[in-house]
Chain A
């Protein structure tokens, strides 16, 4: 699907104080794989166009898809999508896009997801695709974020409490949640050395976040012994 098509904003839900998930209805949506993204195009009255890529943060629900957006300071697209773009209005989208940074539900190896901030969006899409299966491989999400209030997808992640096959660990970098035992700070080697997800178990690793975060975590994973071609990355730039 290469052309632009018109999508309608049907709902906007809150992920944090500042971030929102936009639920878009896209007539004729062909379905997508977890990890894929869409391009969104805005056209100003004078014809100026801006295109941005956003990861799909949930499996498709018929012709509805979801993107989750953190408004960038002084951004020309994201603050508009989060704060102004009205429900019921139309926007141009293109997708689903990408075939490398994806998780296919027929894969059987364990999956290690490493998220930095809003990089959690495509990884939660993978986690949700796994949860839609009655049975499947072990999943672990390591979610690095500054402080607990900035967490996205809280309800979905809290619903994992008590499960061992699909679980989430938090790596807070500035301020930890009450009761957390991990010292605050950036992701360290011990955060990514997890029983069931060591190089010997040959997990698929997906890392998504800001460029410096992705390079830091991918370097740790390769140093631990994961094969570079099993460490798939998506950098925000």
Chain B
């Protein structure tokens, strides 16, 4: 299955987040790897995508679009650390 980087989801994620979330950091609860969302491995099938830890492959989140609905499933995918100003 073709793999892309988290960068590729910047557009769809911009529909959900007020911040540029591919620059946010994710601490993987599976292996402890700290990586940006932009550096996650993304596997896309049709209108759904799975983002995984680049080191251990644990699922970070799943994103799917069905008609007028956007699903974002974080499951047990760990925490995002988002730099903010102020």
Residues in A lying within 8 Å of B, measured CB to CB: 1-2, 37, 39, 51, 53, 94-95, 97-101, 211, 229, 232-237
Task: Name the contact of B11 in the complex, choosing from A97, A100, A229, A234 (C-beta under 8 A).
Answer: A97
Give the A-binding residues of B (Cβ under 8 A): 2-8, 10-11, 14-15, 20, 22-23, 35-39, 44
Secondary structure class of chain B's binding surface, majority of residues:
helix
Contact between A101 and B5, CB atoms less than 8 A apart: yes
Min C-beta distance of B68 to chain A, whole Å: 12
A2 neighbours in B (Cβ, 8 Å):
14-15
With A100-B22, A100-B37 known as contacts, the answer to whether A234 contacts B3 (CB < 8 A) is: no
Give the complex CA separation of A202 and B59 in angstroms: 31
Given contacts A97-B11, A98-B22, A211-B4, 18 further A-B contacts (CB under 8 A): A1-B14, A37-B7, A39-B11, A53-B8, A53-B11, A97-B22, A98-B7, A98-B10, A98-B20, A99-B38, A100-B23, A100-B38, A100-B39, A211-B2, A211-B3, A233-B39, A234-B5, A236-B4
CA distance A100 to B22 in the complex (A): 6
Q: Are A94 and B2 in contact (CB under 8 A)?
A: no
Contact A101 B7, beta carbon cutoff 8 Å: yes
